């Protein structure tokens, strides 16, 4: 497969709605985890504080999962705005 064909295939895949939604979801999760990851590396932090931080991340992820309809609507709205902004630039 030549480079142009591979590039076109990749572009088509990236422009699909499912990919965009997955990217938005993945964009939110590392932000939550990265913050806690940096905090748990603080030497002065005791084990109870670390457990509390990890439990708070788990709570956020559980809330997103149990409230998935509203979270999905939020992501879909953000996706629509991104698409609308891109169309304005063309």
The 10s digit of each residue's pLDDT in 19-78 is 777 777 777 777 778 888 888 888 888 889 989 988 988 898 888 788 878 877 887 787
| DSSP assignment of 52-66 | HHHHHHHHHHHHHHH
Judge whether 71 and 28 are in contact, CB under 8 Å: no
3-35 per-position pLDDT tens digit = 778 777 877 776 666 777 777 777 777 777 888
Q: 44: which residues sit within 8 A by CB, 6+ positions away?
A: none
For residue 89, what pLDDT band results from cuts at 50, 70 and 90?
low
What pTM, to 2 d.p., does this model score?
0.52
Q: Please give the pLDDT value at position 45.
A: 86
Enumerate long-range contacts of 66-69, CB under 8 Å, 24 or more apart: none
């Amino acid at each position: 497969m030549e480079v142009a064909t591979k590039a076109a295939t990749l572009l088509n895949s990236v422009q699909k709605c499912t990919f965009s939604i997955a990217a938005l979801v993945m964009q939110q999760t590392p932000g939550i985890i990265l913050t806690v990851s940096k905090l748990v590396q603080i030497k002065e932090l005791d084990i109870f504080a670390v457990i509390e931080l990890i439990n708070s991340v788990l709570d956020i992820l559980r809330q997103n999962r149990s409230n998935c309809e509203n979270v999905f609507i939020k992501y879909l709205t953000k996706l629509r705005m991104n698409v609308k902004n891109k169309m304005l630039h063309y």
